[in-house]
Structure 1
């Protein structure tokens, strides 16, 4: 066998140091393997050079990538060529030898001999399937090795799959590597061998169940690696993201990369904090971060006007785009009014729109080129900054009750731990547990957990949100999803054993607590909410356990009908709709109503576990299911984390975890028997948010009748919460009157209780005003739209129309559409104010002049946008449809009557006064009845909403002409 050996002419690289310094300014775009153009990167302790080759099937030979200029080493891949690979070596003193080889015309080798100090590295790249058996392949490989002095080995490319496909005698990837090692006659030891394998390794290992051996083989070498070896290991971990596994998105993501390393070491009892793992990673991360900071010194999105202000990473393509952009900008300026009559501008609108489209596409490329260097998160940080959204507290300072100032991170973490544990670590009161009389009737049926399949567990894993936060095991959801096919089998078996035995593992009961600022004085630990960071395994198990329990309660109608939150079709908007319906009935009958919002002190943290378990027993969770929940709730431990500091671990005596799937469900079970209380008022519950609505009777002989009714209800509530070891906080509770009549005796009674009066109550983000027009909610929405309008004016030159629309729908329209059905009570002037703001926003998005016709705006430009009245109508119709589909008492006055298949109208009882005539029920049902029959026959809410929206868009003209909401002005 003959070898064709050629040496590179290194004399053409005249000034290598200058070349490397120049290349430090360039970053490899997204670190992709195959790009049309490659840049070179350099760090403080490694100099990386990338060489590329491709195999030409036409000529049966290598087509070397064309090197345009040896001074800047710009490398371009030939068009239409596929294949090739990246070989990385470290530069100190170097010599490169290229060997082209043909073994039966099927194997390609690229060999580089690299001298680092006095050490020699041998890099082998295999990019095609070797034909023949493994023994012949190893013989050829040994012949290559004999030509160089091999001390260390890096195997690159798809060797993991290619060798396995050619191997007939061994079945494991590790066995193949060990066979290679034997062929080298122990010249390359196992500790000096490093693999840079592609993601197909994981694909194969998931099928052959060989990933345990591979990771165990890798993890044994980490503590012995040099700096350079560890860098290449990180590159190896990064390559997993290029396939289905997606263990990490970028090597620049510190948290995810460390998660991957910890995950690789977790199952083999290797402590990741031993050795130099953190040191090596931090060094690499700081180096690459410095390169990015140097390359993107400007933090704003403003476009440079001349070459002197160009960023360092600007290339010729960027300059060409910028030049075209400036020309288009001048054209747009010429199309503006500039003294011309308005009709001329309108005639030129189509041409101007085409120019703006090209303008926007170039802007998008420039914007995303900059943002790609910072990442999507930082891009949204810039947008949020322009939108005026609040920033997190950068440096936390705590002040204790003794006026002691705490700045140290470890002391802050311990202070939070002491504060939180003073609540959850408080011993349970067994006397209250025994004397509690609020348990409700005993359910005759008994709940039994169903065993699950691996496919079900796999679906649950993929339903988890992609978050970087991890529990104490350092396993992130991205890693979990990457190994879900293999891991779901083991987790399925584990869950089925767990529900049979009724035991929950102790290792999954430990949680990390992160303090989240909730408002008020930031220096007080009382104004922080403890949020649990649980293990991803625990999240999956909780979702399965409490999903089955909640489904069983819904099926048997055990939930309180006035309990909203964490239930299907029972969200915030449904809770507010129910509250408004009750208020409307009270105003229709009595003319006035008092609304009280109660605050429960530390509701989730104060749950008495003995009482909770007894209530679960009454609800039908007995036997093994009861044992499993008891095992889940008891012997839990928590550790507070602030930045990088952890507090001491302490045991939790009471409470349900916040931030978990089971916490809200268990709390709703705790207060589920509120429905059995005999109160005059109505109680709306959304988890721990309690709203009391009491009608005020005016035509009564006893002037203290209202006070006695309210006092009776409040005494029952106080006794209920006290018996359940919970506490109503009157100081943080507030109330308001809605209607014309206000009872002075009630005001005096509430003042004695310490409950403050306010003009509006913020319940679930909606302002329940003392007047019936909800002016405070209108002002809140108008303020959000005004802030969004100012932000759009700043961003319109940097973002495309599609990006501006995305910002509008996510940051502005979401505020408008939230509980928009309640705005049917608003005054026509308030609706016009919101409509005027929306018109301004749409004109800014599309770059239209202020005097552009509103009717033409929604006909030609924003033909996919609903008006304010259209948004309100859509919300009303969808709310009625939800009530019909759910067929429950969420809005009890809605009755669906279908005398024939051709008639699907909804009928409601007759209202006495104007309030209910302009309420959700009457206007919503009248609008629903005007829909075409084919739309009303749709049963899926999302599909129904889509068709109704299309139907309303066709009637935009009539909606724009609609004024105040009255019973005779709702025709579509």
Structure 2
């Protein structure tokens, strides 16, 4: 049965059209000429194909006497029929809608239809000879040309084995698939094909529909994302081949939506016509059965659409039915006439026939740059003898190193001796790495498949096809066996969490993450060196020109009006113990900076390394010199969002030397300790500081908002976004500000040296750019850079006297409270502070990204404010994405719940589909999926019950899938079997632990709503363990974290409230919350009703 399905698909069925020679009369008799690419088969039979006259024909099942087809003999000069009644040359060709055709009536200028609808038992008979010849005609003749296979899959996931067989046997350059039925839960890796790059477009807001396109890795392709080509369920891909640019699109239109779709389709065709491409092709399932594409004509409602095609010069090339008697799968072409378009049999599992279209675009004879392997130089640290490295390092000559006062000389000796040891024990190796993901087919199996494929095309023996399918099946089984074995080994290993997450990362990231091409101002960049230079030029363009004039030595006082701190810091004391402890915290990584030394060397090179570094660090600080060898950093472009072909959609990540990072860590820790002890850093800043995080920023912000709304005040929040903030820090202004904050030489001089005279090199694989100077900014990716930026904008809060600012790094929001009847005066107050903000940004050479700035009002959805920043109007925001949290003015956080559940469902589906071992699935769920549902958990208390149930449904689904549908236990019982806590229990534990940390000042919080009760309270015995409770007037405030968990805290037993550490508190709390009596006492009847839903 499988062989029958395969053979029925792999044989093209109906040749639809080949462009005729211009000016030739279609009724002129033409001699039958054998195509150069056709040869005799084993039976000595050939197929009469004049290459320039393939137009239209019918199915082999419609031929009355198939045996006539076998009576073809080869003449020396031409092909003729051996039947006495030769075909009449001028007979009118039969259309595809005719029910039958006799071979004797067939026009010599019209090819016979060679299909696969004949019974399976006839496949080995002589009529099949013509079938194989037609297949061989298409494959061999167009093997050197770009051709497209169009498939309506009706769910692509269960068609992947068939698609893999298709790519192994035919290796089509382009595969276009509609009705993929993919959704966000399906990862890219799950639909990837070996040796192909794919692009997808899923249906938004539901399942079904969707488009998918596969391209051979040898093709240079990129996705086109354009706001003008915005048809739903449509995908566009650029193809660059032999100095020819083509745009290939895939679209799916659901039935019954043409009235809404027509305008978008016409506008898209008009836009496409104007685009500067050599050729444009639009493929897909358009569900237009009423149009007769032979003429073409149709009902009146299609007149505008058909007229547009004619006016714009678009041609639809498929005229033979692709589903039943209807032509649904279409190929529109502009500025190109296909060499041939064939309609095959139904794709297995689908009721649509496949369409193959050959384009007059020759494939490159030279290998594309994307198929070129890159050479990577590396050290194999996994087999290193670190004891030998330690011994060689200790026996090296260090006399001059410890006696010299020249930092440069000391560094030269250090790196010279280190590299000698590494080269002797772990020599450099060269590895050829393909930019494409590793094939899942082993070389031996690939060679076998290639041999079978060659044999199949040579002899057309379906026994060979069966062997191909058997080989593919064995490859899949072997792959499953390897995956199961890999999972069992990982589960049994001591570090099983790390091992399993690495397996998950590997299985999720098969997709190629290289940057094959970029488009810059219409210019295509495909060479790796050119791409590096383009990135280097773009990133360097973000920097400012160096300042030539210093501001007043105390510019901070102009805005802040605060006295300078008398406390100063001028040096850092480096010790062996601190350096050793910092090295121990390094992550083991093979990556390295421009000095070529990875973290492995520092971690495992022996106890002498901290002593050697102590010499370098001390000398560097004393001489106020940051080593020149550390000033050049590698830049790794990291994609942010949007099209990957646009260079503006990347941000730079600096790869700095490991030794530099160790020293920066020590300097940063001492600086932060000094700044916090002197209260220099604003309490409104939550970024890059110990005990502060996104969570503490959200807590303070929403506590302010909910308490203000509880007092019936309206809350206006303005969101600011600083453009290229880290890259536009002026070095002279920064050092001036550091001086005003009490940082003195030699530390200040060292920081100046750290900032100045730096350069960057963009690195992609083995390709690099030329060094480019860094004239401004703090180094993104460095250790101390974020702290320097924090100090640079530390005085930004001085701009606001009426509003309350909340800052995380460069993300700033300012909250104002007001009454509705005071709107006019309030708007003026806010505008004055916005003007002060604009003046501050001008003073410090920072600019706002006005497209990302805006405001939202809690409590007055219809209020309209006219606010401007830097002469630009601020827009009202309906929804906000703030530090990973999504919310709107109703503060129900439904948007956040939807986002969290979608991400976790997608990852969970990937784990369930790609892992076999149940224990591995359970570990990965707890490690990777559950944390996605537990980001910022304190806001869940403010969500609706249905949103809580929506989050709980993720774990409910997982437990049922893991135990199987035969398990009749309820949700709570399933959790007990798997030793899982319900999500609501985990949120309760996590929130109480966070409450404990804030209460004991382990986590920072600027609000005073979480604090121990004051003396004189009603219960003096418990005054040191109970917290202050707050009254409330609204449900919003009642359900908020500070109010709700203050009550829960006070209800905890005394021995738990008086725990001295987080560990003991967590342990005691866990025991308590697994007590049924306490749970029943803790929750209200309304919440108990929700728990009933949880447990079913």
Q: Determine the structure 2 residue equivalent to 1:709.
A: 829
User: Do structure 1's residue 728 and structure 2's residue 841 form an aligned pair?
Assistant: no
Secondary structure at the residue paired with 1:938? coil
Report the alpha carbon displacement of residue 297 of structure 1 after superposing the two structures with TM: 7.3
Secondary structure at the residue paired with 1:896? coil
Task: Label 1:267 to 1:503 Cα distance change in 2 as closer, same or farther (>3 A).
Answer: same
> What residue ranges of structure 2 are gaps of 5+ in the alignment?
1-379, 399-411, 448-468
Task: Label 1:836 to 1:496 Cα distance change in 2 as closer, same or farther (>3 A).
Answer: same
Report the alpha carbon displacement of residue 941 of structure 1 after superposing the two structures with TM: 3.0
Task: Label 1:206 to 1:484 Cα distance change in 2 as closer, same or farther (>3 A).
Answer: closer
Kept after mapping to 2: 8 A contact 1:461/1:540 = yes
User: Do structure 1's residue 294 and structure 2's residue 478 form an aligned pair?
Assistant: no
Task: Label 1:830 to 1:366 Cα distance change in 2 as closer, same or farther (>3 A).
Answer: closer
User: Do structure 1's residue 861 and structure 2's residue 861 form an aligned pair?
Assistant: no
Kept after mapping to 1: 8 A contact 2:654/2:780 = yes
Task: Label 1:494 to 1:550 Cα distance change in 2 as closer, same or farther (>3 A).
Answer: same
Q: Determine the structure 1 residue equivalent to 2:707.
A: 585
Task: Label 1:769 to 1:945 Cα distance change in 2 as closer, same or farther (>3 A).
Answer: farther
The 5 Å alignment of 1:126-525 reads 202-203=386-387, 206=390, 210-212=394-396, 266-267=416-417, 281-282=430-431, 293-294=442-443, 364-365=488-489, 379-384=503-508, 393-401=513-521, 403-424=522-543, 426-428=545-547, 430=549, 437-438=558-559, 440-525=562-647
Query: Partners of 2:532 and 2:471 in 1: how far apart?
Result: 50
Kept after mapping to 1: 8 A contact 2:855/2:874 = yes
Task: Label 1:614 to 1:307 Cα distance change in 2 as closer, same or farther (>3 A).
Answer: closer
Report the alpha carbon displacement of residue 576 of structure 1 after superposing the two structures with TM: 0.9
Task: Label 1:423 to 1:791 Cα distance change in 2 as closer, same or farther (>3 A).
Answer: closer
Aligned length: 664
Q: Determine the structure 2 residue equivalent to 1:924.
A: 1045
Q: Determine the structure 2 residue equivalent to 1:180.
A: none
Kept after mapping to 1: 8 A contact 2:542/2:727 = yes
Task: Label 1:909 to 1:394 Cα distance change in 2 as closer, same or farther (>3 A).
Answer: same
Q: Determine the structure 2 residue equivalent to 1:541.
A: 663
| Equivalent position to 1:799, from 897, 908, 917 | 917
Secondary structure at the residue paired with 1:559? coil
Deviation per CA, 1:395-437: give whole Å up to 9, x if none: 4322223x11111111111111111112225222636677773
Task: Please give the TM-score of this superposition, normalised by the length of structure 1.
Answer: 0.61
Q: Determine the structure 2 residue equivalent to 1:870.
A: 985
Secondary structure at the residue paired with 2:790? helix
Deviation per CA, 1:179-208: give whole Å up to 9, x if none: xxxxxxxxxxxxxxxxx9999975366368
The 5 Å alignment of 1:578-617 reads 578-617=700-739
Kept after mapping to 2: 8 A contact 1:468/1:476 = yes
Task: Label 1:577 to 1:308 Cα distance change in 2 as closer, same or farther (>3 A).
Answer: closer
What is the root-mean-square deviation of aligned Cα atoms in Å? 4.4
Task: Label 1:965 to 1:852 Cα distance change in 2 as closer, same or farther (>3 A).
Answer: closer
Task: Label 1:693 to 1:433 Cα distance change in 2 as closer, same or farther (>3 A).
Answer: same
User: Do structure 1's residue 778 and structure 2's residue 897 form an aligned pair?
Assistant: yes
Q: Determine the structure 2 residue equivalent to 1:907.
A: 1028
Query: Partners of 2:716 and 2:686 in 1: how far apart?
Result: 21
Report the alpha carbon displacement of residue 870 of structure 1 after superposing the two structures with TM: 2.1
Task: Label 1:297 to 1:375 Cα distance change in 2 as closer, same or farther (>3 A).
Answer: farther
Secondary structure at the residue paired with 1:499? helix
| Equivalent position to 1:755, from 857, 866, 874 | 874
Kept after mapping to 2: 8 A contact 1:731/1:754 = no
Query: Partners of 1:478 and 1:675 in 2: how far apart?
Result: 43
Kept after mapping to 1: 8 A contact 2:571/2:745 = no
Deviation per CA, 1:266-312: give whole Å up to 9, x if none: 54888999xxx87x7337999xx9999437979xxxxxx99996669
User: Do structure 1's residue 676 and structure 2's residue 676 form an aligned pair?
Assistant: no
Q: Determine the structure 2 residue equivalent to 1:131.
A: none
Deviation per CA, 1:613-661: give whole Å up to 9, x if none: 1211122111211111111111111111122211111221111000111
Q: Determine the structure 2 residue equivalent to 1:938.
A: 1059
Kept after mapping to 2: 8 A contact 1:476/1:536 = yes
Query: Partners of 2:476 and 2:485 in 1: how far apart?
Result: 23
| Equivalent position to 1:835, from 952, 956, 965 | 952
Q: Determine the structure 2 residue equivalent to 1:631.
A: 753
Task: Label 1:269 to 1:910 Cα distance change in 2 as closer, same or farther (>3 A).
Answer: closer
Query: Partners of 2:853 and 2:720 in 1: how far apart?
Result: 5
Q: Determine the structure 2 residue equivalent to 1:879.
A: 994
User: Do structure 1's residue 563 and structure 2's residue 685 form an aligned pair?
Assistant: yes
Query: Partners of 2:664 and 2:710 in 1: how far apart?
Result: 45
Report the alpha carbon displacement of residue 958 of structure 1 after superposing the two structures with TM: 4.2
Task: Label 1:419 to 1:433 Cα distance change in 2 as closer, same or farther (>3 A).
Answer: farther
The 5 Å alignment of 1:656-671 reads 656-671=778-793
Deviation per CA, 1:435-466: give whole Å up to 9, x if none: 77346531101114342222221111121122
Task: Label 1:709 to 1:768 Cα distance change in 2 as closer, same or farther (>3 A).
Answer: farther
| Equivalent position to 1:814, from 914, 931, 934 | 931
Kept after mapping to 2: 8 A contact 1:461/1:481 = yes
Query: Partners of 1:854 and 1:507 in 2: how far apart?
Result: 60
Q: Determine the structure 2 residue equivalent to 1:690.
A: 812
Secondary structure at the residue paired with 2:821? coil
Query: Partners of 2:527 and 2:1060 in 1: how far apart?
Result: 58
Q: Determine the structure 1 residue equivalent to 2:406.
A: none
User: Do structure 1's residue 737 and structure 2's residue 857 form an aligned pair?
Assistant: yes
Query: Partners of 2:540 and 2:1072 in 1: how far apart?
Result: 56
Query: Partners of 2:414 and 2:628 in 1: how far apart?
Result: 22
Q: Which has the higher helix share?
A: 1
Query: Partners of 1:504 and 1:483 in 2: how far apart?
Result: 24
Of stretches 900-909 and 831-840 in structure 1, the one that deviates more from structure 2 is: 900-909
Secondary structure at the residue paired with 2:654? strand
Kept after mapping to 1: 8 A contact 2:580/2:610 = yes
Query: Partners of 2:813 and 2:663 in 1: how far apart?
Result: 33
Deviation per CA, 1:461-501: give whole Å up to 9, x if none: 12112222211111111122121512111101222223333
Query: Partners of 1:513 and 1:410 in 2: how far apart?
Result: 14
Task: Please give the TM-score of this superposition, normalised by the length of structure 2.
Answer: 0.55
Q: Determine the structure 2 residue equivalent to 1:70.
A: none
Kept after mapping to 1: 8 A contact 2:565/2:678 = no
Query: Partners of 1:391 and 1:870 in 2: how far apart?
Result: 37
Kept after mapping to 1: 8 A contact 2:393/2:418 = no
Secondary structure at the residue paired with 1:281? strand
Report the alpha carbon displacement of residue 780 of structure 1 after superposing the two structures with TM: 1.0
Kept after mapping to 1: 8 A contact 2:518/2:526 = yes
Report the alpha carbon displacement of residue 835 of structure 1 after superposing the two structures with TM: 1.7
Query: Partners of 2:500 and 2:972 in 1: how far apart?
Result: 37
> What residue ranges of structure 1 are gaps of 5+ in the alignment?
1-195, 215-261, 299-304, 323-359
Deviation per CA, 1:675-723: give whole Å up to 9, x if none: 33343111111001111222242133xx422321221221121111221
Q: Determine the structure 2 residue equivalent to 1:184.
A: none
